[in-house]
Amino acid sequence: MKKALAFLTALTMLTAAFSAAPVSAAGSYDMTVTVDLSGSGKAISPYIFGINEYGHQDDLKKLSVHAVRQGGNRMTAYNWETNASNAGSDWKHSSDNNLSKSDEPADCVQQLSAEGTKYGFDYKLTTLQLAGYVAADKDGPVSEAEAAPSARWNAVKLTKGSAFAAEPDLTDSTVYMDEYVNYIISKLGNSQSKTGIQGYSLDNEPALWHGTHSRIHPERVGLQELTDKSAEIAAAVKKLDPDAEIFGPALYGYTAYDHLADDDSSNEWETIQSTGGYHWYLDYYLDSMKKASEKAGVRLLDVLDVHYYSESSRNGAEDRLQSVRTLYEKGFVENSWIGQWCQKNVPILPTIQASIDKYYPETKLAITEYNFGGEDDPSGAIAQAEALGCYADANVYFASLWGGSGYILSGLNLYTNYDGKGGSFGDTLIPAATEDVSKSSVYAAKNGDASKLTVMLTNKSMSDAEHAVIELKGAAKSYQKAALYGITAESSEIRLLDIVDVNGSKVDVTLPAYCAAMVVVSDDPDAFANAQQEEKTQKTAVFDDPMSMVNQNGYVEIPISDPEHLKQIIITGDVKSSAGSSWGTAGCAVCINAVTADGTAFWTSKGYSLKLGSGSKATVEFDGTLQNSDKEDVAAVVADGKIELQKWWDSSEKLEAEIADEITVDYTRVEVVYEYSGSTLRGDVNADGKFDAADARALAKFLTASGTLADWQAGDLDANGKLNAADLTWMKREL
C-alpha cells in the first residue's frame, strides 16, 4: 500500500508538470467557399453511388449504395449454365467455383438480384461474355496446352438461332448469350421489375483479353471484331428486353480509350483513324455503334462504359490528393505519364463527353471501375469524395467503385449515409467553388425544396486546419443551423464534428487537417437537436514481431483478448518472390474458430491479400457477424481467443508463365483494434460499471504487481496496447 501511495504521489507531481507545459496550437488557413442557389441546378444520377459486387459482398450490409455492377475479369469466362468461371492471369488461369458453388444455372445473377432486394439498391448491372469461350469445368489451372479450343472450354455463341430451352443443354459444349438473357428474364423478370437486371455490360476490358485471358483470346482484339460482337448481342438483348440498357465497351483505361489494343503491328487503328478522321478510339466505337443502331432500327448502345484507375495516385498520398483534377480541370498536369504525354485529352471527362456529343448524342456515360487508392490513409477518403462530386458535375450516369476499404468506403458513405441514419447528398447539384482547389475542393447540392443543403468540402492539407466561410448566394430561404460530419486522420469513420449557427448567408466551420466533410445546412433551427453520435473509444494491441508467434500448425497466431469488441485487424508484411517476379500477390485469410450467442461453433475465415514488396498492408474488418458454412452472416465472435494468419494462394508474373515461384510473407506488424461504445468502459478497470478513484487504485496496484484487473483494456487509455504509468496519468487527469 505504501508503494502504491508513493507511486500515486509521484504521478500527481508528474501530472502537474505536464499541465503547466504550454500547448502549441495546430496551424490553420482561411478558405472562402461560395455556393450559388440562384439557379435551378442539375439532376444528379443516383447510380453514381455504386460499387462492384466482386470483393464487396461483405460490404453491402454496411454501405448505402444505389447501384451494383457484377463484372470484372472473372466474368469474361463465366459459364452461366454451370457457374464455372476462370481467373485468367489473375490466378493461374484457374477454372473453378470462385463465383458460385451452386449448380443452378445463372446462380450469380440470381444472387445479385437477391442482394438488390435485401440491401435496397435500385440498379443491377451484369456482364455478357463476348471473348469466345467460357470455362467448361471447375478443375483448376488451365495450362497453355489446354488453351481453347479444348475440352476445358465451352464455345460462346451470341445468338442461338433456334428456340430457347427452358433449362440449358449441358452436353452441347456451347453456351448461348441470348438464351442466357432469356433465362434471366424468365427467372427474375425483365429490366422494369424490381428483381430484374437493369443493364447488361458487353464483357470486360476487351483490350486486355490477350493478356488476362490468353487461354481463350491470345490475339489482340480487333476493332471490327469488337464492334460486330457488340452490335450482335446488343440487338439480341433489345429484342428480348427493349428497356434494358446496354453498356459498352468497358475499356480498362486511358490507353484503350485512345487505340483499344492496337500495337501498331497491324496498322488497323492507324488506317481507320486516318480514314474516318477520328480523334481517338472512343470516337470510332461511338460512330460504329450509332451506324449499327441505325441499321438495326434500335439503339444498341445506351451507356458508354469506361474504367479509370488514377496513374498519379500510385505515387502516394500527396499526388492522390490532386489526382481527381485530371478528370475535370483544364490545364492541370498530374505527376504521371498522362500528365507528361497526354495533355491533349485533359480534362478527360469533358473530352469523352465531346466524343459522345459528336458521334452518338444522348449516349450516357459510366465509369464502372475506378479506384484512387488510399484505403488506409485520409487521402483515400478525400479523393473518393472529390471523385463522386466530379462525377455528378460531369453528368456521369453510373459509377461503381472497384475494391477498396477503410477510408475509401467512408468517402462513399459520406454522400449516402453521413449520419448513420440515411442522411444523403442532395439530388440536385448547384454551383460551388473554393478559392484554391489544390487546398480544398467543394461540391454542393440541395433537396427538392432547398430546405436542406449539403456541401461536400475537403481539406487537403496534411497539417493545417481549414477555417472555411461558406457564402450562400441567392438563397431564398433563411437557414438556421449547420452540422459538420467528417472523416479525419484520427479515424476512417464518419463522425459528427460540430454544430454551428448560420449567420445570415454565411456558414463558418473549421475542418481538421486531412479531412473530407459533409456540411449539412438546414432552415430548421431544431434540425440537429438529436444529432449527437454515440461516443466510441478504440484500443489497439500491437504485435511488432509476429513471426515469433508461429504456432504448432505453422501459422502466425494472434491473441484476441476481447472478441466482442473486435473492430479490425491491420496486417503489415514484407512479400517476396522466389523467382524474382516484378509483381505478385499473396492471397491470405484470417482463420477463425467462431461461436454464436447460443453456443453454436463453426469455422470461418476473412480473406485479405498482400502485394509484392516491403510494408504491404491489409485491413480486415469485423462488425459482430461472421459468415457460416451456408455463407450466411450470423452474429458470432472469435471462440477461442486467437486467430491464425494463413496464406492460401500465390499469383505472380512468373507463375503466369508457368515458372515455379513461391510468394512468401514475413509479417512485420499486426495491430488488433477493439472498439467500445460510450464512455462507461473507459477507465473502468474493476468492471463495476463506474469510473472513479477505485479504478485508479486498482490500476496502481496492478502496475506495482500487487493486484489484478477485471478489464485491462479499459485502462489502456492511450491505446498503445500496454498498461503503464502513462495510463494512470491519463486516468488521474480524467478523474
On whether the CB atoms of residues 669 and 612 are closer than 8 A, the answer is no
On whether the CB atoms of residues 64 and 51 are closer than 8 A, the answer is no
Name which of 678, 685, 677 is nearest 717 in CA terms.
685
Cis? peptide before 249, omega within 30° of 0: yes
How far from each other are the two terminal CA atoms of the chain, in whole angstroms?
21
On whether the CB atoms of residues 136 and 73 are closer than 8 A, the answer is no
| 3-state secondary structure at position 322 | helix
- Contact partners, residue 259, CB within 8 Å, separation at least 6: 269, 273, 280, 281
Length, in residues, of the chain:
735
For residue 574, how many other CB atoms are within 10 A of its CB?
A: 15
On whether the CB atoms of residues 324 and 386 are closer than 8 A, the answer is yes
Amino acid at 193: S
- Contact partners, residue 206, CB within 8 Å, separation at least 6: 130, 131, 221, 226, 249, 250, 251, 260, 261
Residue with cell 459444349: 173
On whether the CB atoms of residues 236 and 177 are closer than 8 A, the answer is yes
Beta bridge mates, 488: 491
Residue 400 main-chain phi, psi, to 5 deg: -135, 120
Task: Give, as one character, the DSSP assignment of residue 204.
Answer: S
Distance CA 647, CA 313 (A): 28
Distance CA 646, CA 673 (A): 20
Catalytic annotation, residues: 205
For residue 196, how many other CB atoms are within 10 A of its CB?
A: 20
The three three-digit cell numbers of residue 606, written as one number: 476473412
Distance CA 400, CA 48 (A): 7
Alpha-carbon Rg for the chain, nearest whole angstrom, is 28
| 174-176, strands of its sheet edge to edge | 133-135, 153-157, 174-176
Residue 105 main-chain phi, psi, to 5 deg: -55, 145
Distance CA 649, CA 654 (A): 14
Distance CA 217, CA 209 (A): 6
Give Dmax (Cα) for the chain.
96
